[in-house]
Amino acid sequence: MANPPIPSSDAPLLPILIAPHARLKAKARAVAKNDDDAVRAVIPRMFATMYTAPGIGLAAPQVDLGLRLLVIDLMPDNKPAPIVMINPELVAASPELAVREEGCLSLPGMYADVTRPARVKVRFLDQTGARQELEASDLLSACVQHEIDHLDGVLFVDHLSILKRNMIMRKLAKEQKLKK
């Protein structure tokens, strides 16, 4: 898979929407051919925004772009390994489950254990338009599922009990109010 260039630190950052922003709950539309220029322009900005936050994944809806586009970089061995997924779709998921603590740039400072399939296979287009398949496990599996959830208007707290979700959302609202 061709990796995108690592964005320079001077790439303009994008504002990250904070829950409960309504656009975070909207389903993103598929990237079409006429979106190519916009997608090409926003990818370096999404990486710059994600790295600055800092985070390991960012979906287009989080930066108020309603397209099925996401970027991930787990920085294995502290070296950039950027992944761009355009129109990703989960095509297989293991029956085995894994529990991992998740956080989200759209829910800053909030964390909770989320149960997801331990391994997944995802099909997507890379930034050159080439069809790719990726089999993911461990942290990459959780990250891919988390970011694809964003494309469907799902936040990690939506996988929690109503009680836990409400506690996190109230705490986030309180912290956001104190920042203003």
Cα 174 to Cα 159: distance, rounded to the nearest angstrom: 22
**All residues at 6 or more sequence positions from 113 whose CB lies less than 8 Å from its CB, including other chains:** 99, 100, 101, 102
Element (H, E) at 129: none
Catalytic annotation, pick one of 89, 102, 133, 147: 147
Residue 43, Cβ density class (10 Å: 0-12 exposed, 13-18 middle, ≥19 buried): buried
Task: Locate 119 and state its tokens.
Answer: 């391994």
DSSP one-letter code for 137: E
Annotation marks residue 147 as catalytic: yes
Evaluate whether 110 touches 157 at the Cβ level (below 8 Å). Answer: yes
- Other C-beta atoms lying within 10 Å of the C-beta of residue 20: 15
Residues designated catalytic: 147
